[in-house]
Structure 1
Amino acid sequence: MEDIEDLLIGTGTGTPPGFRPPLTSVTVGVGTTKKHRSSLLPSPSPSIPGTQTIFIKTFGCSHNQSDSEYMAGQLSAFGYSLSDNPDEADLWLINTCTVKSPSQSAMDTIITKGKSSNKPLVVAGCVPQGSRDAKELEGISIVGVQQIDRVVEVVEETLKGHEVRLLTRKTLPALDLPKVRKNKFVEILPINVGCLGACTYCKTKHARGHLGSYTVDSLVGRVKSVVSDGVKEIWLSSEDTGAYGRDIGVNLPTLLNGIVAELPADGSTMLRIGMTNPPFILEHLKEIAEVLRHPCVYSFLHVPVQSGSDAILSAMNREYTVSEFKTVVDTLTELVPEMQIATDIICGFPGETDEDFEQTVNLIKEYKFSQVHISQFYPRPGTPAARMKKVPSNVVKRRSRELTNVFEAFTPYLGMEGKVEKIWITDIASDGVHLVGHTKGYIQVLVIAPDNMLGSSAMAKITSVGRWSVFGEVIETINHPSDNKALNKQVPNQDMSSLCCNQTENCVISEEPESCACGNVDSCCSQSTLEKTDSPRDTVVLPQNQNSNKNLFGWILRKRKNLHKRVESELASGSDIKREKSMKKWDFVDKALLGGISISILTIFALLVCLRFSVIWSQ
């Protein structure tokens, strides 16, 4: 194994061997696939850096996702192509999460697959940073969480056949690095790394380390930049947002006020505050409530409680009580209209008794949170909790199911039917049919609308409600994405989260990747549950307005494209049952399209016949 620090020692000229500037002809994000690359670039060759194709796979929280976007941006700026197809890639870059066993197992699976395919591998993220000597990482190049600005060096050396490791860093990566966003309308902005906590179950602290905050000026500068780029949502992300600035003599309200002052007055760009643990916002509740009331800030906050028992919170070393958590929730709910709070629960933490669990159930019943992330306890190697006496696995599973049933019995959006809400539309739902918008309280609203409404704001009438989201009809568009400036293009179909969602877990329900530190949320799972609609995939509520025909046509095209991908996947599995179901799905859309074409042809033919007879009769 060779260390990259040895490989790239300067030659006395101030420039390390092999260093080359980024390609000035490449616009980051505008072209991220091979077909967009300049025809002047040479054909891919192992000996020519910047001509290869990179596959990026991301596990974990929004912070990890932001890191992957930064790494993708730098690779793109240096000429590399990005692909969502691992088979056609020359190198795999895997950004890892260490929060839960399922995430690390999924990582192990993809690493094994890469090795068997003889693909050069680079592993980034919390796993190599926190467990650099892990057996799974033997013979693989690794890059640490604070070394993402040097990913190009690591990739180039790995493509040359070197095994390189870059883990030590004392300064934070710059915020103005090139970036290719997964969603071109959403900027994930890391405000700090690490945390001040010492939770007994948390492995992320081993990787992300102690608190390190970006300056207010650097963060406000980044906000100015992305707003000018046309970004419509800014997500503040960190291992604990509430702890921001305590290492540099400032606090979260100071940062929030500085950012809000730079948001467009027309409300076209919204700010969403990231996960915060109770201890660090208790002293700033009124100031934070004031920010959450601002028209450009979502009235939403993710505040993990983890348990309704003070005894278990003490064993977790969470540094707050249930009463203090309630103070946070009660205060924000009272001071902020439409306030929505998400929380996390860990079922089966070591030492949890039936009485402890019952207190947790009662807490959830009392507040009826619209979003609760329910996780089973996973002992992480090297943490104090891993050495504690475990609750039997069958008991943990039973408690998890019971709490899930309690949570799913709530109807948080009942009574919204008929209301008119302003929504910000930034995504396409996983069903390929609806567009995803959010209210001021960050309630998910699914609407049928043309794709050109992405990035716009609208007034929507709520037509029906479900357990996980509400359905709406767009009645007025407030602003259009045509006014946007150049936006970074999404990595083509880049799924940064699909492999880490263990279907046996209860990840109920998150609307975004969120912190994977003491929040203990394997949030890549939660991203997939976000776009889980409450109606069957083939059930459509069409808006009754002048755009109906346009919306229907756009829906049919999205639906057909989505089904095409699903059919290919299902046929590839070789399942006769899936094949039969897939063909039925094809019948639904294709027959509709063919029927429409046939009717159009017959109509034209009839008109021609009528015209012909009209000419004959006139003679």
Structure 2
Amino acid sequence: MEDIEDLLVGDSAAAPPGFRLPITAAVGINPIKKKNKSIKLEPSSLLQNSSTYQVPGTQTIFLKTFGCSHNQSDSEYMAGQLSAFGYAISDNAEGADLWLINTCTVKSPSQSAMDTLISKCKSAKKPLVVAGCVPQGSRDLKELEGVSVVGVQQIDRVVEVVEETLKGHEVRLLNRKTLPALDLPKVRKNKFVEILPINVGCLGACTYCKTKHARGHLGSYTVDSLVGRVKSVVNDGVKEIWLSSEDTGAYGRDIGVNLPILLNAIVTALPTNGSTMLRIGMTNPPYILEHLKEIAEILCHPCVYSFLHVPVQSGSDAILTAMHREYTVGEFRKVVDTLTELVPGMQIATDIICGFPGETDEDAAQTVDLIKDYKFSQVHISQFYPRPGTPAARMKKVPSNIVKKRSRELTSVFESFTPYDGMEGNIERIWITDIATDEIHLVGHTKGYVQVLVVGPESLLGSSAIVKITSVGRWSVFGDVIEILDDRNGVTSPSDEKDTSIKEKCVEDTCGCSSTKPEPCACESDACEPNGCNIAENDSHPEDQNGRNVEGLLLRKKPSRPMVELEDNGNQKLANVRDRDWGLLDTVLVGGIFMSLLMIVVIVLYVGS
């Protein structure tokens, strides 16, 4: 299945991100001055000639993102800066003046997709800039010859790179420097979700991981800078904040703080009514073992999702040692057992790599037993991909037919679980931030980050609601909205009288968002989202045509679909409204018409007499 925290639908088949927000939604627009002395310029016959160069800031840029949520955040920052300088960001490759590809090096398929895209760009003779982990971790790739590149810590200079590339120059900015500022302009893929990188790099040395080559050693942002960013995005209307990094649990160890210190500081900056939620990113077991109780306490906070992505990768200690994962299966079990015991409704996602070099049938069986024991609702199952330059690439490989067989068996075991069976009939609070791919349902999440699909108007996006779970599917649950919560007044108690049923428009496992089984992947970084449905299409409501005369204006009927009403206490509720109730304005208008007609009759009678 797909990466649990991935914003993209998939590496090779995903639609390019649609940056539809106006630049006014960006945060902290600070134009960047050009620093040509620090740019290495090389002539390139593959790029357009300078004679065709246009005024900077008038071109259209096609932006394609591969990989994890950290990469997505980088793309949003690059899009924000380019938009601030006047460039148009598009998902139409054909009509773009320049292509910008943000790459991922976690697994071979994503890099292969990048290679294909680069070949298409060169064939179309389009100027090209390649960003992300591939050029940073593999500088001498043949595919990058004659191509401008920008490194993971140079994204704040993307405007310079684009401008020089459009002039026909080849630009290479890969030297590491200080971390990019958090207050750069940003255009979010989803205006309600802020992906907040808390650190780059990690402290691990996994034998299969290529990301370390690109992101490097651990570098953490300060607590003050992160809390400041949180306050800024909350004021900007963000409803979910995703903490992202290559290993969230390692945060702060390079600057003398730790993850619990950061999390406690962030939750104090969140609205007390729970209108904005915090989601903690991927955390490897070694770095949270000493903070389990503190992490559990934070996960119980009403403004924090009771969800954590903890990769195990294998159920065999022998394989974990070969991977250099620095923990045992027993320690992973301790993490899961402790959090499950201390946090009500706790949901844990994990990752498995099938067919790591040296894996025996017994090792694979131990992995299956681990998954059976816990019946995780989210598991990413992927086959081992040898990455060039990593120690695992030199190890003796398991035959590919055996790897595929083990992957199928484990997937079959995982899909036999029905993790949400006990939820039917539950009353839950959800936070609604997206529209499902079927364009019928809105996508919300419970505090345990279980995906809930509801029917309602697009105006509910960015709100929280009380719902009743009506049915469950394999990847999602379905619910009816009972009550919309007013952020100003905080949580209100659901009432049985307000339980207005909304007719379900798709049955279990027929929704375009949740019925299709995600593809397997091999993500190790903070790259996943549970059952993510991130298509945000317009859900425009047809206008009522019965309103072209006075009678129609006053007595017209509204569409028979869920509508939002205000209650006496200032809260909102969802109801199926057919005839509009008369208000004071209606009474005044009708009274005025009546008085006018009466005056006309009096005048006519007077003149006649």
The answer to whether TM tops 0.5 is yes
Query: 1:363 maps to which residue?
Result: 370
2:424 to 410, 413, 417: 417
1:74 to 81, 86, 93: 81
Distance 2:486 2:127 in 1: 46
Distance 1:253 1:312 in 2: 30
Query: 1:273 maps to which residue?
Result: 280
The CA deviation at 1:504 is 9.9
Secondary structure in structure 1 of the residue aligned to 2:94: helix
1:470 to 470, 473, 477: 477
Query: 2:93 maps to which residue?
Result: 86
Query: 1:149 maps to which residue?
Result: 156
The CA deviation at 1:88 is 1.2
Distance 1:201 1:505 in 2: 21
**1:171 partnered with 2:178:** yes
The CA deviation at 1:115 is 0.9
TM-score, length-scaled by structure 1? 0.74
Query: 2:232 maps to which residue?
Result: 225
The CA deviation at 1:362 is 0.1
**1:549 partnered with 2:563:** no
The CA deviation at 1:27 is 2.8
Contact map agreement 2:246 2:526 (CA 8 A) in 1? no
Query: 1:283 maps to which residue?
Result: 290
Moved more, 372-381 or 471-480: 471-480
The CA deviation at 1:241 is 0.1
Alignment RMSD, CA only? 2.4
The CA deviation at 1:429 is 1.1
Give the AA of the match of 1:206: H
Query: 1:611 maps to which residue?
Result: none
Query: 2:107 maps to which residue?
Result: 100
Write out the 4+ residue segments of structure 1 that deviate beyond 4 Å after TM superposition: 520-523
**1:506 partnered with 2:517:** no
The CA deviation at 1:474 is 0.6
**1:27 partnered with 2:9:** no
Deviations 1:164-197 (A, max 9, x none): 0000122100000000000000000000000000
Contact map agreement 2:434 2:533 (CA 8 A) in 1? no
Distance 1:447 1:149 in 2: 39
The CA deviation at 1:415 is 1.7
Secondary structure in structure 2 of the residue aligned to 1:163: strand
Secondary structure in structure 1 of the residue aligned to 2:131: strand
Distance 1:79 1:27 in 2: 12
**1:530 partnered with 2:524:** no
Secondary structure in structure 2 of the residue aligned to 1:423: strand
Contact map agreement 1:349 1:377 (CA 8 A) in 2? yes
**1:208 partnered with 2:215:** yes
Change (3 A) 1:271 1:532: closer
**1:457 partnered with 2:464:** yes
The CA deviation at 1:480 is 7.1
Deviations 1:367-415 (A, max 9, x none): 0000000000000000000000000000000000000000000010002
Contact map agreement 1:342 1:369 (CA 8 A) in 2? yes
Contact map agreement 2:108 2:387 (CA 8 A) in 1? yes
**1:124 partnered with 2:131:** yes
Secondary structure in structure 2 of the residue aligned to 1:248: coil
Distance 2:471 2:533 in 1: 16
| Structure richer in helix, relative to its length | 1
1:428 to 413, 427, 435: 435
Distance 2:116 2:393 in 1: 23
Contact map agreement 2:69 2:526 (CA 8 A) in 1? no
Give the AA of the match of 1:189: L
Give the AA of the match of 1:412: P
Distance 1:226 1:504 in 2: 31
The CA deviation at 1:84 is 1.0
Change (3 A) 1:190 1:82: same
1:349 to 356, 368, 390: 356
Distance 1:263 1:307 in 2: 36
Give the AA of the match of 1:115: K
Contact map agreement 2:427 2:469 (CA 8 A) in 1? yes
Unaligned ranges ≥5, structure 1? 1-24, 31-44, 484-502, 509-515, 534-545, 554-619
Secondary structure in structure 1 of the residue aligned to 2:411: helix
Query: 1:64 maps to which residue?
Result: 71
> Which structure has the greater CA radius of gyration?
2
Deviations 1:518-547 (A, max 9, x none): x26864xx67x53399xxxxxxxxxxxx99
Deviations 1:429-472 (A, max 9, x none): 12222110000000000011110000000001101000101000
Query: 1:196 maps to which residue?
Result: 203
Give the AA of the match of 1:27: T
Contact map agreement 2:383 2:403 (CA 8 A) in 1? yes
Contact map agreement 2:436 2:442 (CA 8 A) in 1? yes
TM-score, length-scaled by structure 2? 0.75
Query: 1:50 maps to which residue?
Result: 57
Contact map agreement 1:103 1:522 (CA 8 A) in 2? no
Query: 1:437 maps to which residue?
Result: 444
Change (3 A) 1:522 1:349: farther
Change (3 A) 1:71 1:346: same
Query: 1:580 maps to which residue?
Result: none
Unaligned ranges ≥5, structure 2? 1-21, 28-51, 491-516, 536-556, 565-609
Give percent identity, aligned residues only.
Answer: 80
Query: 1:301 maps to which residue?
Result: 308
Contact map agreement 2:245 2:525 (CA 8 A) in 1? no
